[in-house]
Amino acid sequence: MTLAHQPSMWDLAEQATLEPLAGVVRHHLGRGAWVDHLPGWVAGSDEVLDVLLGDIGWREDRRQMYEREVAVPRLLRWYPGQEELPHSLLTDARTELNRHYGPELGEPLVTAGMCLYRDGRDSVAWHGDRIGRGRSADTMVAIVSFGSPRPLLLRPVGGGESLRFPLGHGDLVVMGGSCQRTWEHCIPKTTKPVGPRVSVQFRPSGVA
């Protein structure tokens, strides 16, 4: 007799699941922007992180910076709507987000953009997701975080005090309303010793 095909207690305990989205809390930022935050949306996220940190086709992007071409300080993986996501939990997450936000958004979240922050030197600078319709129309960007906690900072376009949303393993944050036009967001670098973090961003098609 072999035990090889029996699920162990460990496997059972590690199954990733989604908590009810009803627990999400909305923060109105002003200027028609809001952020929904649900820490611990995904329970048992370790197995999802394991898959995301594997060989799923991460690539380094390069950008022109003045005279020089430099590496963007994070790895990227883009899933157009038709490509199967690397873990079924992520497919379920998109379905649940669409069930919850569909009536308010009026269209589905389709694409999944992923960022891998290898350590505290990786980051994303202040920006709004304004490629496509985010430039001119209200939209939503839903982000699920896996791995080491990193804060998402938001500040009003044109200046003002910044807000800080800690994003830990399994946490959900949704930026909605005018957020991409009237506010900017970033993931700052840190000198603290942090492990890798993967963010999965769901967006409607035509928003990036």
Indicate which of Fe ion, ligand AKG, none lies near residue 199 (CB less than 5 to 8 Å, by partner kind): ligand AKG
Measured between its terminal Cα atoms, the distance across the chain in Å is 53
Tell me if 104 sits within 8 A of 57, measured CB to CB. Answer: no
Indicate which of Fe ion, ligand AKG, none lies near residue 143 (CB less than 5 to 8 Å, by partner kind): ligand AKG
- Residues of the shown chain interacting with ligand AKG in the complex, contacts defined by CB under 6 A: 113, 115, 124, 129, 143, 152, 185, 187, 199, 201
**Least Cβ distance, residue 45 to Fe ion (angstroms):** 21
Rounded to whole angstroms, the Cα distance separating 7 from 136 reads 50
138 part of the interface to Fe ion, by CB under 5 A: no
Rounded to whole angstroms, the Cα distance separating 134 from 137 reads 6
Taking the least distance from each CB to ligand AKG, the nearer of 15 and 135 is 135
Distances in whole angstroms, Cα of residue 41 to Cα of each of 52, 195, 197: 17, 20, 16
Taking the least distance from each CB to Fe ion, the nearer of 175 and 194 is 175
* DSSP per position, 9-25: HHHHHT--EEPPGGG-E
**Least Cβ distance, residue 20 to Fe ion (angstroms):** 26
Q: For the window 53-82, what string marks contact with Fe ion as x by the rule CB under 5 A?
A: ------------------------------
Rounded to whole angstroms, the Cα distance separating 97 from 17 reads 14
Q: Left, alpha or beta for 141 (phi > 0: left; psi -120 to 50: alpha)?
A: beta
> How many other C-beta atoms can be found within 10 angstroms of the C-beta atom of residue 102?
12
Which residue is listed with tokens 């920006």? 127
Indicate which of ligand AKG, Fe ion, none lies near residue 45 (CB less than 5 to 8 Å, by partner kind): none
The interface region with Fe ion, picked from 66-74, 107-115, 129-137, 166-174 by CB under 5 A, is: 129-137
The binder of Fe ion chosen from 48, 90, 109, 129 (CB under 5 A): 129
Tell me if 120 sits within 8 A of 189, measured CB to CB. Answer: yes
**Least Cβ distance, residue 115 to ligand AKG (angstroms):** 5
**Least Cβ distance, residue 33 to ligand AKG (angstroms):** 14
Give the binding site for Fe ion (CB under 5 A): 129
